[in-house]
């Protein structure tokens, strides 16, 4: 039997223009669940494996302070520091779940189970998509006390959680601590992070055009399949039209200029990008 997975995201503010595509990529992974905590109304679409819960930023800080037993004061950007503590903060939403994880919203998912199969979940207590480091956009944690509380072992975590400043706790701070414990031989569980398994900045800079999501798979221009694509470096320059929840597509083209529900040429996306730049510079 496949081990259950529930990914959590806390998002405050209006939904991004690519939200319909993100939700479709979640829905295509029918054996994985997503739980979004939001301060807006849920999107006008429903999928069996995607759930939305209302939560304000103030509510997150209050809940985190209560569950962790220490003051938490984060803003809309720095609240990502709390990700490694989600197993404690959102424990009431994780009963019976084998693995929980944290993720980002500027991604499109491929076939998760093809890249994180049961034999990896059976052996490892943490799984990250980055090499020798936790990833803010995808890290899984076995839902047991010794793993859920590992954030408490990071020196100075209370002070970092108690101020609005961003400390990159979810990536650099906890990664450094975990590597140190592995080197000293006193980490009581194993982590799977031997290589990068996400399409991220290096790949996107080398190939700004030619990525596709098709029928649940992330593909490059050669048709090779990948786990998921994280386009955080591109999203602020998107000029494609907002996608329509009422018009789901089984295909999306992903370029540095946007996400399109149809095949799109390099010339078209580049021209849109130039026009957008000219418009902003006037």
**Mean predicted confidence (pLDDT) in 244-255:** 95
**Confidence label for 280 from pLDDT (cuts 50, 70 and 90):** low
- Asked if 58 and 140 sit in the same domain, the reply is yes
Averaged pLDDT for residues 39-57: 97
Integer CA distances (angstroms), 279 to 31, 220, 238, 282, in order: 44, 31, 14, 6
Number of domains in the chain: 2
* pLDDT, the chain, mean: 95
**For the chain, percent of residues with pLDDT exceeding 70:** 96
- What is the predicted pLDDT for the residue at 201? 94
The answer to whether the predicted template modeling score (pTM) of the entire model surpasses 0.85 is yes
Residues 186 and 205 in one domain: no
Q: Are residues 160 and 45 in the same domain?
A: yes
* Lowest-pLDDT choice from 50-64, 103-117, 141-155, 255-269: 255-269
pLDDT of residue 266: 87
Question: Model confidence over 9-40: pLDDT tens digits?
Answer: 999 999 999 999 999 999 999 999 999 999 99
184 and 205 share one domain:
no
pLDDT at residue 269, as a whole number: 81
Confidence band (pLDDT; 50, 70, 90) for 278?
low
The pLDDT of residue 275: 63
Taking the C-alpha atoms of residue 94 and residue 100, their distance in angstroms, rounded to an integer, is 7
Q: What's the Cα-to-Cα distance from 101 to each of 127, 242, 249, 255, rounded to whole Å?
A: 9, 28, 27, 27
State whether 131 and 152 are in the same domain: yes
- Using one digit for the tens of pLDDT, what is the confidence trace for 132-182? 999 999 999 999 999 999 999 999 999 999 999 999 999 999 999 999 999
Residues facing 53 on adjacent strands: 37
Reported confidence tier of residue 270, pLDDT bands at 50, 70, 90:
confident
What's the confidence (pLDDT) of residue 212?
Answer: 97
CATH number at residue 164: 3.90.550
Question: Lowest-pLDDT range, 46-55, 86-95, 243-252, 262-271?
Answer: 262-271
What three-state secondary structure class fits 59? helix
pLDDT at residue 117 tops 70: yes
Residues 117 and 247 both lie in one domain: no
Which among 159, 192, 225 is the end of a domain? 192
Q: Which of the listed residues 140, 158, 192 is the one where a domain comes to its end?
A: 192
Are 90 and 35 part of one and the same domain? yes
Q: Quick one: 118 and 53 in the same domain?
A: yes
Tell me which of 143, 158, 192 is where a domain ends. 192
Do 26 and 155 fall into the same domain? yes
Q: Which residues contact 113 (CB under 8 A, 6 or more apart)?
A: 2, 29, 31, 32
Provide the strand spans (E) within the chain.
Answer: 5-11, 33-38, 50-54, 99-103, 107-109, 126-128, 138-142, 191-192, 211-214, 217-219, 225-226, 228-230, 251-255, 258-260
Q: What is the pLDDT of residue 106?
A: 98
Same domain, 62 and 123: yes
Q: Is the same domain home to 21 and 151? A: yes
Same domain for 205 and 177: no
Domain of residue 66: give its range: 5-192
């Amino acid at each position: 039997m496949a081990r259950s997975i529930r990914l959590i995201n806390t998002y405050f503010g209006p939904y991004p223009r690519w939200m319909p595509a993100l939700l479709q990529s979640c829905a295509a992974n029918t054996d994985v669940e997503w739980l979004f905590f939001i301060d807006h109304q849920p999107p006008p679409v429903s999928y069996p494996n995607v759930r939305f819960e209302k939560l304000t930023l103030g509510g997150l800080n209050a809940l985190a302070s209560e569950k962790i037993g220490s003051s938490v004061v984060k803003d809309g950007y720095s609240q990502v520091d709390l990700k490694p503590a989600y197993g404690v903060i959102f424990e009431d939403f994780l009963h019976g779940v084998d693995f929980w994880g944290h993720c980002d919203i500027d991604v499109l998912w491929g076939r998760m189970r093809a890249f994180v199969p049961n034999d990896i979940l059976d052996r490892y207590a943490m799984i990250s998509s980055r090499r020798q480091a936790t990833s803010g956009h995808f890290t899984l944690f076995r839902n047991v006390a010794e793993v859920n509380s590992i954030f408490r072992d990071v020196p100075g975590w209370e002070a970092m959680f108690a101020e609005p400043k961003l400390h990159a706790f979810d990536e650099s701070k906890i990664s450094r601590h975990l590597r140190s414990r592995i080197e000293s031989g006193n980490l009581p569980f194993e982590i799977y992070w031997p290589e990068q398994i996400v399409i991220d900045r290096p790949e996107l800079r080398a190939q700004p055009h030619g990525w596709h999501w098709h029928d649940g798979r992330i593909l490059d221009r050669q048709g090779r399949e990948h786990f998921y694509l994280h386009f955080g470096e591109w999203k602020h320059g998107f000029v494609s039209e907002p996608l329509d929840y009422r018009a789901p597509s089984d295909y999306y083209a992903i370029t540095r200029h946007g996400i399109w529900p149809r095949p799109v040429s390099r010339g078209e996306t580049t021209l849109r990008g130039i026009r957008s730049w000219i418009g902003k510079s006037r």
